[in-house]
Amino acid sequence: MTRMTADERQADVIVVGAGPAGSATAYHLAAAGIDVLLLEKAAFPRDKICGDGLTPRAVKQLIAMGIDLSRPGWQKNKGLRIKGGGHTIELDWPELADYPNFGMVRPRAELDEILARHAQKAGARLHERTVVTGPVLDARGRVVGVTARQVDERGRREGEEISYRAPIVVGADGVSSRLATGLGIERRENRPMAVACRAYYKTPMHDDDYMESWLELWAGKPGQSDLLPGYGWIFPCGDGTANVGLGILNSSKAFQHMDFKDSMRRWLANTDPVLGFSDENLVGGPIRSAALPMGFNRKPHYSRGLMLVGDAGGMVNPFNGEGIDYALEAGHMAAMTCVQALARNNDGAREKVLAGYQQALDAEYGGYFRLGQGFAKLVGSPTFMKLGTKYGLPRPQLMRFTLKLMANLTDRKGGDPHDRIINALAAVVPDA
């Protein structure tokens, strides 16, 4: 292991975690000329449990970052196919001025490395196999860096603990966020949480034009057996495989005692055999699961020199479990806040700018995420879901409105009546 000098361990900003949130933050900082250290505990490529679906909201951010979506490996889709209540409806992504009209799918093992290398190319100093163990505090209790240890390919410690220093630290270190807990910023139990499990299967629908959402999961023959809790998805990857998964919210009575992986197998066992969703067609490992922190379930997003981005700040949409788009957007917001703060010539002015990050997040997502919290409680009810699928899916106009609402896809100015209703609702409810 090469020993670093003190200068190499210092930066204007330290970003911890090179997932979409951290890499987006580091990219925008580096592109603005800021010296940024990006610390990642694993080595690329590495996998993350995720649905891999990128809605137009996420695609907009990738385009803005200069990611070439025309290269091989990006699976483009037209919209969402929804199944439930004996109905199937295909909904194209809306035609909007603010967002593109297509989505993408890219496995996280590939996406995360693409984004991290993109940040590195822009000038970010990426350190892989660097496990951050906690924040470094000054005499005032302000974060002025992080402690970390280097690990080998098996995760075994190499050498002594290292201290990295910067006037601003960004925690993009995931749902458990050691940095946040190190400052006593704990998860809020009154916010929705979900668990999702997923696997990759070889399937002939790998290049389907639509991502699929299943609102009914049958334990046996469809329509003639018990319904399993949760919802399912099939997201075509375009490489011979699809990302297939199941999710359930903690608002469901079954959440505490449900065997998620067994439920996923039981659901898939009763899908069309032609699709190939059986164990012999598994690729890339077994079914794996992870938690989804929703609706700003950890706040404040700025405190004493530490900014939280992505899952570390609970930035998953309670309506649909999306997190990548909000990670990318918040990464941009965090980076631009840092750029402005670093340009201030005294601590008081700098702190005032950094505190504005929380205000910006609340203004952008607070009301919408609050609406999502109410929705999450409703979909935990089997009665609501049964009525919704039976009477909602046959109504295309209602479903187009629902797609816009759940995917947070509206034009802010000059939109149609659906856009104006959704924007007005998000504006009048209290922040999450």
Instruction: Give pLDDT, residue 244.
Output: 98
pLDDT-derived band at 297 (thresholds 50, 70, 90) equals: very high
pLDDT, one tens digit per residue, over 331-364 is 999 999 999 999 998 999 999 999 999 999 999 9
If you write DSSP's letter for every residue of 8-50 in order, what string do you get?
Answer: GGB-SEEEE--SHHHHHHHHHHHHTT--EEEE-SS-SS----S
User: Regarding predicted confidence, which is higher, 136 or 393?
Assistant: 136
Nearest to 54 by CA among 1, 111, 12, 121: 111
Averaged pLDDT, 148-152? 93
| Cα gap 134→164, rounded to integer Å | 11
Q: Is it the case that residue 52 has pLDDT exceeding 60?
A: yes
pLDDT, one tens digit per residue, over 204-261 is 999 999 999 999 998 888 888 888 888 999 999 999 999 999 999 998 888 888 899 9
* Integer CA distances (angstroms), 157 to 37, 145, 245, in order: 20, 20, 34
pLDDT-derived band at 2 (thresholds 50, 70, 90) equals: low
Q: Which helix (H) or strand (E) holds 136?
A: strand 130-137
Per the listing, tokens 């302000």 go with 142
pLDDT-derived band at 389 (thresholds 50, 70, 90) equals: confident
DSSP 258: -
pLDDT, one tens digit per residue, over 152-180 is 888 888 888 999 999 999 999 999 999 99
pLDDT, one tens digit per residue, over 123-134 is 999 999 999 999
DSSP 421: H
Averaged pLDDT, 23-28? 98
Instruction: Give pLDDT, residue 380.
Output: 79
Q: Is it the case that residue 1 has pLDDT exceeding 70?
A: no
Q: What residues does each domain of the chain span?
A: 7-76+102-189+295-372, 193-293
Residues forming beta bridges with residue 83, ordered by sequence position: 88, 214
Averaged pLDDT, 406-429? 95
Instruction: Give pLDDT, residue 386.
Output: 80
| Cα gap 339→25, rounded to integer Å | 11
Residues forming beta bridges with residue 82, ordered by sequence position: 89, 213
- Say if pTM beats, i.e. exceeds, 0.85: yes
| Cα gap 410→77, rounded to integer Å | 19
pLDDT-derived band at 301 (thresholds 50, 70, 90) equals: very high
pLDDT-derived band at 6 (thresholds 50, 70, 90) equals: confident
Instruction: Give pLDDT, residue 221.
Output: 86
Averaged pLDDT, 279-292? 95
Instruction: Give pLDDT, residue 387.
Output: 82
Peptide bond before residue 396 is cis, with ω within 30 degrees of 0: no
Averaged pLDDT, 291-298? 95
> What would the CATH number be for the domain defined by 7-76+102-189+295-372?
3.50.50.60
